[in-house]
Chains A and B, each alone.
Chain A
Amino acid sequence: MLASIPSATVVGVDGHLVHVEVHVAPGLPAYDLVGLPDASGRESRERVRAAFASSGLEWPLRRITVNLAPAALRKTGSGLDAAIACGVLLASGQLPEHSLRDTGVVGELGLDGSLRRVPGVLAIVACLARHGVRRVVVPAEAAREAALAGSVEVLPAATLTEAVTCLRGEWPWPTAPEADPTQPFVSADGVDLADVRGLAVARTALAASAAGGHHLLLVGPPGAGKTMLARRLPTILAPLDHAHALEVTRVHSAAGLASGDHLVTTPPFRAPHHGASAPALIGGGVSRIRPGEITLASRGVLFLDELGEFAPSVLDALRQPLEDGSVLVCRSGSSVELPAHFVLVACANPCPCGRAPDRCRCSEAHRAKYRNRLSAPLLDRFDLRLYVDQPSPSDPPGPGSAEVRARVAEAVARQRARYTNFPFERNAQLPAPLLGELAPLGSDAAAELHDIALVRRLSGRGTARIHKVARTLADLDGAAAIEAAHIAAASELRSDVL
């Protein structure tokens, strides 16, 4: 008898459909698993057999062949255990023939017959739903996550016995839990923007970055408050909308970062150490391609502290994903496209000793060498570049995170409304040819921008970047039109910092 159960494996951060084919034929008792499983997949045989014994099911003493189709795709992880078990049951007649029609199965088996969750349940269930599967048997503990996928009936089962009983129709399926659409907003480590004194211009830049999705570079001596400021960025980011929240939850679940029980509505904030390698940042791996930090930061913020300490090759690898919002990671075995819609926020010292311009003791050659670590094309990607100087203790504290977050959220909503018919949603992604149409300038503002370009000797691209940032500042102000003051303020947020 032959059975074929749809399931899926995680490739990168997406599910990839796998048909688990089980053939049970007369002959000497044997068990063959083919179709490029990894080590944990090959070990499924022992887990499945023990789970059968623990669940009081009969292991057919015949020749069993399991094929994971498509046979050429490398399968990773143990999420196909449950599908193999159900296939064996179906092929050996222990389950009614039609009990698994249009039904996918996901989960790892314990030796006691329990059904366990695997990373990436959301990605797997979403993939099955996409391929026309109507019902999915999932481990009970991952039912909430599976429910997030929507448009598919979730059949939760805590054990193999429970699944078999319900599939046989001897017992009704337990009701699947409702998807929990929200996650309470958690302020990162209880920090607040009100902790920062002075630095008014830098704080404007931070709000502009959060609202318009502009990449931000802060340069200044140690202790000026660059990192302190950047670390408070998560507290003013606008919550994700449903589609993005789903995407982030899927990615984080596939990477094993989040349980997936809740929809992740807080934009991710990833801060890798400067020792990070290119594959760690971009994504990679040998047999299995794992998402890198830029993918984990997708729809959120990638924060690189001490930018000058990162390997220059690692930084330059960021340039293409910054431009495209995705990265194609290629290995000899496979290639995977990973999402990378992140906002890059970086901090750097002005020179190796970090004390420029005041008490710097670096030689000019040292400073030039340090500057050269950051390539001009990378520096050009930062819409917002500013010098942060030590504030004096008498400087007044600024507005708190809650107040700024509300303004940012309004600005984001305004941009979404404006760009409904376009394939982008933030001012930072506004293509230069559409600037005139989507961010028109009055005659005053246009004259101001022209004047700035003249005095500061800006290139066309530099001018366009100030234009976009001015649009964000206007959105933060709730202004429909960009005024000359917005242009002037935007020009102060992009200086030659190195």
Chain B
Amino acid sequence: MKPLPVDEIAAAALAGLPGVGRATLRDLWKNHGSPECALGAVLAGAAGPALRRWADLDDWPERCRPDVVAARLARHRVRVLLPDQADWPIPPDLADAPALLFTRGSAYEALQRPAVAIVGTRAASPHGLADAHELASHATRAGYVVVSGLALGIDAAAHRGALDAGGLTVGVVATGPDVTYPRRHDLLYAAVHRQGLTLGEEGFGAGPLEWRFPVRNRLIAALAAVVVVVEAHERGGALDTATHAVGLGRPLLVVPGSRRNPAASGTNALLRDGATPLLDPTDLLVALERACHTPQRYAISAPIPVSATGSPHAEAASAPQSGPQRSAAARTILAACHGEAATIDELVTRSGLGTAEVSGALRELERVGAVERRHGRIWPR
């Protein structure tokens, strides 16, 4: 392994000091020219008053020792990106830009391609999860990178959609590069590291503190050419990302939902406030093409052609129609669902069939994945 650049080690060392935030770091970069010089100045005690406080800390020179920091970076296979580097992914239009990024993963080309952010609530309905997965795989097949927040629910479904379609995905995290949050996303983190990367501005060991998530959300919006909100509650981080998207002038696409679906209350409110409705995966592809009207600028190496039918547009239009022959009872039940979640009692009442018949029809539909049972309800896909 080639030795890590000195600037990156110095930047990571300074970012690891307690109480040193991106504003302090940006000042250091500005005042001293490079992180290496900044670290030298800090060690010599010549840095600004903000850093003096930490001079009392017993072990702080120890924490800043380049070999210790370098070993830590190498152990976790973490790379540090700095604003003056050629592959710095944050566009210059982001106010309050990070002073450095900790990245981890194997596919750095993901940061050079046009990306779509797909975000939403953690407590998503099966409809929302299916939508996020589907949109992510369509975007992936059209050659775009999927950016999301590695949270439960919509975020995870979006990452999985990209991974399943064989594409690249970027997880923007609010924690340190060595922290997995939520813990149950262990495998998803590993898959993202293999087929993309995770990226965040917090140093080693930074835990999932509440204030870090809104700060992280601005990066998601900044990294993407288009932001999609699939399902969101009226209060939540997804709406925060939407606000950042509007602030940065990124096109905001929102998937409409039923007024009975509480997970769609926030997205429907966004639509009322003027966001663009996303009615079909094609809408997303059109918006992406329009947003990246000069795709050459990003030098797409090769769009990943996974779809057998060729154009993702054609596939999106034709996919849901074809299906196996269904029994009369199954058709009745699907019609009785009206495309929304229903309890079995409701289906019995609406269809006029007996419980046993409804049960059999549901099983037929479950087998082909046309409906899903969750929270004691039946959800048509």
Contact = CB atoms under 8 A, between A and B. Distances in A.
Interface of A: 198-202, 204, 219-220, 350, 356-361, 363-365, 386-389, 391, 395, 448, 451-452, 455-456, 484-486, 488-489, 491-492, 495-497
B112 interface: no
Interface in B244-285: 260, 262
A485 B355 CA distance: 8
Contact of B376 (A452, A456, A495): A495
A186 B133 CA distance: 57
Contacts of A486: 356
Nearest to A389: B343
Interface stretch (B90-98, B166-174, B360-368): B360-368
A204 B348 CA distance: 13
B344 interface: yes
Nearest to A492: B359
Contact of B123 (A220, A364, A391, A452): A364
A83 B360 CA distance: 68
6 contacts: A200-B348, A201-B344, A350-B375, A363-B122, A484-B356, A485-B356
Nearest to B364: A455
B31 interface: no
A200 B355 contact: yes
A357 B377 contact: yes
Query: What class of interface size applies to chain B in its complex with A?
Result: 20 to 34
B163 to A, nearest CB: 21
Which of A365, A388, A495 has the most B CB atoms < 10 Å from its CB?
A495
A386 B373 CA distance: 12
A497 B376 contact: yes
Contacts of A350: 375-376
B29 to A, nearest CB: 37
Contact of B349 (A202, A364, A395, A497): A395
A359 B262 contact: yes
Contacts of A199: 345
B354 interface: yes
Contact of B375 (A198, A363, A365, A387): A387
A201 B363 contact: no
A496 B356 contact: no
Nearest to B354: A485
B158 to A, nearest CB: 17
Contacts of B123: 360, 364
Contact of B355 (A201, A388, A391): A201
B376 A386 contact: yes
B152 interface: yes
Contacts of B366: 455-456
A364 B376 contact: no
Interface in B173-200: 182
B345 A200 contact: yes
Most buried by A among B262, B349, B363, B376: B376
Interface string B288-322: 00000000000000000000000000000000000
